[in-house]
Amino acid sequence: MSGRENGSVSAERDTALAAYTLRLGDDALVASHRLAELAARGPQLEEDVALANISLDLLGQARSLLTYAGSLEERLTGVLRTEDDLAYLRDEDQFANCRLVELPNTDFAYTVARQLLFSAYQFELYTALAGSADETLAGIAGKAVKEVAYHRDHASGWTVRLGDGTEESSERMAAALEAAWPYTAELFTSDAVFRSVAASGLGADPPDLRPAWDVFVDGVLAEAGLARPEVPPITGPAGMGGRQGVHTEAFGYLLAEMQHLHRSHPGAAW
């Protein structure tokens, strides 16, 4: 094999790894922001702090992942984008997060449903990534998996409490799950980027994460006395979704709030 071919194979691998890391970082960032919106607005003081803790865990993951994505990108393009550039200076269609994490906090059950489905996904993802051939990703995932184990436990506890609670709490929990469910298919949809990082042992192919996720989520739903929603996936135009930069209507409003300060006062610091 000639040197040029080696170079192009490695460039393709690096391109996929950068795109993959950006997706993981965007997932964590947007999930973090949705929870941060509830700071000082939680259903009780104790839960307010719990949600803020989880939000901060996710923000820490987002910072590590976006910083790493920026440095991988720099190797390819020669231009560095910092974590702040990536978080605050990209527009909606440049974000590659799954749409599940951007769903609004319609009521507390919606927050719980989103957190249950997402943290169960992140748990399987980080468990797999802890064995990544990429040392940086393996390190980030190894630390994050402990955090996410608690996020999953927290959301499971609330799902059972609400699902197996009063008639009203059970109805609300079921409604919230049904609203979030159509966006779970996207978590397990593969494409060229995912297949590339999986083939090179750097990342996980989403469909491989599904069986364990199914077992866990089904177990929680059974304990909560809730049925697994029977609703079809929602996809954007031409089958595209968050990974391709096609987001839900609510996402633009989320970004407007998240990015406003940085864009109005570039470089603002505490």
Partner 1 sequence: MADQPLWEVFVRARRGLSHVHVGSLHAADAEHALRNARDLYTRRQEGVSVWVVPAASISASAPEDKDAFFDPAEDKVYRHPTFYPVPEGVEHL
Q: How far apart are CA 134 and CA 200, in angstroms?
A: 10
Q: Which two tokens stand for residue 196?
A: 């590339």
3-state secondary structure 156-182: HHHHHHHHCCCHHHHHHHHHHHHHHHH
Q: How far apart are CA 209 and CA 187, in angstroms?
A: 9
Residue closer to partner 1 by CB (options 93, 153) is 153
**166 touching partner 1, by CB under 8 A:** no
Contacts with partner 1, 53-72, as mask; x by CB under 8 A: x-------------------
Q: How far apart are CA 27 and CA 25, in angstroms?
A: 5
What 8-state DSSP symbol labels residue 200?
T
**79 touching partner 1, by CB under 8 A:** no
Which stretch, 40-48, 70-78, 199-207, 210-218, contacts partner 1 (CB under 8 A)? 40-48
Surface-to-core class of residue 92, CB atoms within 10 Å of its CB (0-12 exposed, 13-18 middle, 19+ buried): middle
Which stretch, 77-85, 154-162, 229-237, 242-250, contacts partner 1 (CB under 8 A)? 154-162
Q: How far apart are CA 226 and CA 117, in angstroms?
A: 14
The sign of the CA dihedral 61, 266, 247, 93 is negative
Which stretch, 18-26, 148-156, 196-204, 206-214, contacts partner 1 (CB under 8 A)? 148-156
**49 touching partner 1, by CB under 8 A:** yes
Applying CB under 8 A, among 75, 161, 228, 263 the residue interacting with partner 1 is: 161
Q: How far is the CB of 219 from partner 1 (least distance, A)?
A: 17
Q: How far is the CB of 136 from partner 1 (least distance, A)?
A: 25
Q: How far is the CB of 160 from partner 1 (least distance, A)?
A: 10
Residues that bind partner 1 (CB under 8 A): 43-47, 49-50, 53, 150, 153-154, 157, 161
